[in-house]
A and B are shown apart, each in its own frame.
Chain A
Amino acid sequence: MSEKNAVPVEVLSPILKRWRNDPSALVQILREVQESLDWISPPVIDALTRALKLPYSKIEGVAGFYSFFYTRPRGHYRVLFADNIVERMAGSAALIERMCRNLWVEKGKVSEDGLLSVDTTSCIGMGDQGPALLVNNLAVPKLTEARIDQLCELIRGKVPLAAWPAELFAVDDNIHQRGLLLDHALAPGDALRAAQARCAWGGAGSGPNALVEALRQARLRGRGGAGYPTALKWESCRNAPLAAGKERIVVCNADEGEPGTFKDRVLLNTQADLVFEGMTVAAHALGAKRGFLYLRGEYRYLLEPLQAVLDRRRAAGLLGRAILGVAGADFDIEIHLGAGAYVCGEESALIESLEGKRGTPRNRPPFPVTNGYLDQPTVVDNVETFACAALIAQHGGECFAGIGTAESTGTKLLSISGDVARPGIYEFPFGVTVGEVLAACGAVDTQAVQVGGPSGTCLGVAEFGRRIAFEDVPSAGAFMVFDSRRDMFEVARNFTHFFAHESCGFCTPCRVGTPLLKNLMDKLANGHGSPYDFAEIENMNHLLRQMSHCGLGHSACNPVLDTIARFRPAYERRLSNQSFEPAFDLDRALAPARQMTGRDDEGAHLSIHCEEDQ
């Protein structure tokens, strides 16, 4: 092996040691390797094949899946601007251009000296303080022209990230309205002691469990958006048969990837103890010994603070062996980071990722509650759900059930962004109307709200009386507001780009359908859409909904369907009066030949529309 290809053993060894040479930690190992070496080179993969006893193709398959992993050099500074519609509205495009111009780099490419690359990524959970970017996966919010210039200076000066001014990385919580979750008075351990008072730890086997009963009484439903009853999930996992050598697993889904959502970021930053306590309550109910927090890669900056919380809890006897001094009450939590894959928010894809694989949603059944992490019974719940569970363990189900509506109890954290005076986090009881939320955050002249992110629902003015609740407008937390200046077609188009970027590629309809849909929307945006293309969009929507493997494909057409239904003129305005438009720009298709021949005569061009037609 040549000098150039030498594998830096001093880098790999401690990483491999930290992850126990465990192939199921492959995603974590690749992440740490890249943090040290800037990219994952073939010789490094080769070295990992030997250390982890994994085939090359498998590691390449995993590395190739996650958009934050690079199997080709991407520069020492890898800048990714958040590209959600909210950031675009805040002027991200001009800032991207400014950085590219300043640093002589073309968007999407690596600078000639290999120093940096500038590109875009999906929403990074900073919608209330955008535009924002990630540099080597660390978030820099509140971007301004001045801040961009400052970043350029640091990059040009090759200043190590660790030496960058800390204020660049300061993320605000922006909590504007507190309730149950954000205003609790629990101290670490309170809910665990309450749980212990309700029933003994674990209590393996069937039969009612007081904690599960409390959840049932609370009628708690999962906060990830689907609203599955949490008691039922925990009970199914509890009752799932356990093969020899297997154990039950608790997983906290902090892969908050739905564009416009950032409430889990704030919960983890301000209420980490409550969340970990909720996970430990679950372990108490299930007799689980092992837990994972799956944190989206965009929240990399939270890793060390969260590790510190875990350490503190271990030291306080709230985690680890003999929790609260109870013999056999053993439970610990490991943090895994994602690496830029929205689909991993789907629970079975998340489990695949935890196992060190490509984040492809599994075929179900079997469900994770019986066959989850490494084929073991696994509960996967949202960050907010675990926080609720801790409160319910403390206060009982009844008090929780008294808040909200009959079918949607408790409160909901909303991540509000877009055209509002005060973007940030708002905690409302379920059942709050969209109009009430808009009033609270200072929205005026609102034309539409995207509730629950691109895969959720787009509401127009006539629907602002509708309620945030599972039985009306469900939401995982995103609440993006658009005033009358905004072009709702552009909103939907941005979302089709998002889904095409995030499709895992497993099933045909989503893998091919999401880019086709994106291309059709782009065609309309370029003024080359005909009624024929509009009909194609509607057909694609139908197919994605019927044939896709998972929720991503099912909901990829939602923003388009919703905006067509409510803002049809925004589409019609873009349709040409031609009955059919070419798939591509005919004149541009002649440009390479023009350049090669030096011709520019009339015959060297093609008009957009058919002159024979006029």
Chain B
Amino acid sequence: MSEKFTLDGQEILFRAGQTIIQAAQDAGAWIPHLCYHPEFKPHGSCKLCTVTVNGRHMASCTTQAAAGQVVESNTEALNGERRTLLQMLFVEGNHFCPSCEKSGDCKLQATAYELGMMTPHFDHFYPSRPVDASHPEVLLDFNRCILCSLCVRASRDVDGKCVFALSGRGIGTRLVVNAASGRLVDTDVAMDDKALSVCPVGVILKKRRGFAVPIGERTYDQAPISEVKE
């Protein structure tokens, strides 16, 4: 590990094959992200982790680190663009934090705090997305889905199933479950599935756990997301 690139002027060492975000995380530098998770194959869809590499916009989760790259991330311009992406995610779904069990543990919310998002800015889509409460142990509230596909990847790559998948297209893209009925209870999901524990927002919730940790004492109440180790 001797090759390096610079991230916002700081030298970052990397191993061959690492992406920019992996090398940055190893070096303790935070690049905002939502669909990226170190345990899963990068997806590159949320675009929050976009940086400039030698002046070009690139998703840092899918761009290989290379010696001599000049990477910029924490700039006003990029953070402004990221804020706009967050605002898009907020108006695309129905995100009502005060009534969401994930509040305080939600990566969408915490990232928006970190980037100083004061308003969703755009006109809301207010889509109609019924919840799925069919399963005795798990609630699915699709209103909050940001289509990061982490549950899809976890189910496929770790659990060896396909409990979750994306269907639809464009603004109509939606999360579906593996059953003709469309109900989680009719799928092959198991309570120890990795897929049930990776949702960055409040879509996949275990039932009867509400407020086990009080509001105010949750993950991102304690420290900003940029300082919380993943």
- Where the two chains meet, the residues of A that have a C-beta atom closer than 8 Å to any C-beta of B are 42-43, 45-46, 55-58, 60-61, 63-67, 341, 358, 363, 365, 500-509, 511-516, 519, 539, 543, 546-549, 583-584
- Chain B nearest CB: distance from A56 CB in Å? 5
Q: Given A547-B50, A549-B44: A511 and B171 within 8 A (CB)? A: yes
Inside 8 A of B74's CB, which chain A residues have their CB?
none
**Is the CB–CB distance between B85 and A509 below 8 Å?**
yes
Inside 8 A of A516's CB, which chain B residues have their CB?
88, 122-123
- Chain A nearest CB: distance from B108 CB in Å? 11
Whether B142 is near chain A, meaning CB under 8 Å from some CB there, is no
Inside 8 A of A584's CB, which chain B residues have their CB?
123
**Is the CB–CB distance between A515 and B171 below 8 Å?**
yes
**Is the CB–CB distance between A43 and B180 below 8 Å?**
yes
**Is the CB–CB distance between A65 and B88 below 8 Å?**
no
**Is the CB–CB distance between A64 and B168 below 8 Å?**
yes
**Is the CB–CB distance between B165 and A508 below 8 Å?**
no
- Chain B nearest CB: distance from A145 CB in Å? 33
Q: Could you tell me the distance between the alpha carbons of A503 and B168 in the complex, rounded to whole angstroms?
A: 11
Inside 8 A of A56's CB, which chain B residues have their CB?
162, 178-180
In the complex, per-residue mask of B153-193: 1 if CB is within 8 Å of any chain A CB, else 0: 00000000111111111111110111110000000000000
**Is the CB–CB distance between B173 and A511 below 8 Å?**
yes
- When C-beta atoms are compared, the residue in chain B nearest to A536 turns out to be B122
Inside 8 A of B166's CB, which chain A residues have their CB?
61, 358, 505
| Closest 7 A/B residue pairs (Cβ) | A64-B167, A505-B173, A55-B162, A57-B165, A512-B88, A57-B178, A583-B123
**Is the CB–CB distance between B176 and A549 below 8 Å?**
no
Q: Select one of B44, B50, B147 contacting A363, CB under 8 A.
A: B44
Most B C-beta atoms less than 10 A away, residue of A365, A502, A547: A547
Q: Select one of A57, A505, A511, A543 contacting B177, CB under 8 A.
A: A57
Q: Could you tell me the distance between the alpha carbons of A503 and B147 in the complex, rounded to whole angstroms?
A: 14
Q: Could you tell me the distance between the alpha carbons of A67 and B172 in the complex, rounded to whole angstroms?
A: 11
Inside 8 A of A539's CB, which chain B residues have their CB?
84
Q: Could you tell me the distance between the alpha carbons of A515 and B47 in the complex, rounded to whole angstroms?
A: 18
* CB interface residues, B 14-53, toward A, < 8 Å: 42, 44-48, 50
- Where the two chains meet, the residues of B that have a C-beta atom closer than 8 Å to any C-beta of A are 42, 44-48, 50, 57, 59, 62, 64, 81, 84-85, 88-89, 91-92, 122-123, 125, 146-147, 161-174, 176-180
Jot down 6 A-B pairs with beta carbons below 8 A, ordered by A.
A56-B162, A66-B169, A502-B170, A504-B170, A511-B92, A511-B170
Q: Select one of A505, A509, A543 contacting B171, CB under 8 A.
A: A505
**Is the CB–CB distance between A505 and B165 below 8 Å?**
no
Inside 8 A of A341's CB, which chain B residues have their CB?
169
**Is the CB–CB distance between A508 and B47 below 8 Å?**
yes
**Is the CB–CB distance between A508 and B178 below 8 Å?**
no
**Is the CB–CB distance between A500 and B176 below 8 Å?**
no
State the total of A-B contacts with C-beta under 8 angstroms.
Answer: 122
**Is the CB–CB distance between A45 and B180 below 8 Å?**
yes
Q: Could you tell me the distance between the alpha carbons of A60 and B57 in the complex, rounded to whole angstroms?
A: 33
- When C-beta atoms are compared, the residue in chain B nearest to A45 turns out to be B180
Q: Could you tell me the distance between the alpha carbons of A67 and B178 in the complex, rounded to whole angstroms?
A: 21
- When C-beta atoms are compared, the residue in chain A nearest to B179 turns out to be A56
**Is the CB–CB distance between B42 and A363 below 8 Å?**
yes
With A61-B176, A547-B57 given, name 14 new contacts (CB 8 A).
A55-B165, A60-B165, A64-B169, A512-B88, A512-B89, A514-B170, A516-B122, A546-B50, A546-B57, A546-B81, A547-B47, A547-B81, A547-B85, A549-B47
Inside 8 A of B84's CB, which chain A residues have their CB?
539, 543
Q: Could you tell me the distance between the alpha carbons of A23 and B191 in the complex, rounded to whole angstroms?
A: 29
Inside 8 A of A547's CB, which chain B residues have their CB?
47, 50, 57, 81, 85
Q: Could you tell me the distance between the alpha carbons of A132 and B12 in the complex, rounded to whole angstroms?
A: 58
**Is the CB–CB distance between B47 and A519 below 8 Å?**
no
**Is the CB–CB distance between A65 and B171 below 8 Å?**
no
Q: Could you tell me the distance between the alpha carbons of A183 and B186 in the complex, rounded to whole angstroms?
A: 61
Q: Could you tell me the distance between the alpha carbons of A509 and B88 in the complex, rounded to whole angstroms?
A: 8
- Chain B nearest CB: distance from A522 CB in Å? 11
- Chain B nearest CB: distance from A54 CB in Å? 8
- When C-beta atoms are compared, the residue in chain A nearest to B186 turns out to be A56
Inside 8 A of B168's CB, which chain A residues have their CB?
64-65, 505
**Is the CB–CB distance between B81 and A57 below 8 Å?**
no
Q: Could you tell me the distance between the alpha carbons of A516 and B89 in the complex, rounded to whole angstroms?
A: 12
- When C-beta atoms are compared, the residue in chain A nearest to B123 turns out to be A583
Q: Could you tell me the distance between the alpha carbons of A554 and B179 in the complex, rounded to whole angstroms?
A: 36
**Is the CB–CB distance between A507 and B170 below 8 Å?**
no
**Is the CB–CB distance between A504 and B180 below 8 Å?**
no
Q: Given A42-B180, A55-B162, A60-B176: A67 and B169 within 8 A (CB)? A: yes
**Is the CB–CB distance between B165 and A511 below 8 Å?**
no
**Is the CB–CB distance between A65 and B45 below 8 Å?**
no
- When C-beta atoms are compared, the residue in chain B nearest to A46 turns out to be B180
Q: Select one of B46, B146, B171 contacting A503, CB under 8 A.
A: B171
Inside 8 A of A500's CB, which chain B residues have their CB?
170-171
**Is the CB–CB distance between B85 and A508 below 8 Å?**
yes
- Chain A nearest CB: distance from B83 CB in Å? 10
Q: Select one of A60, A61, A503 contacting B170, CB under 8 A.
A: A503
Q: Select one of A43, A511, A546 contacting B147, CB under 8 A.
A: A511
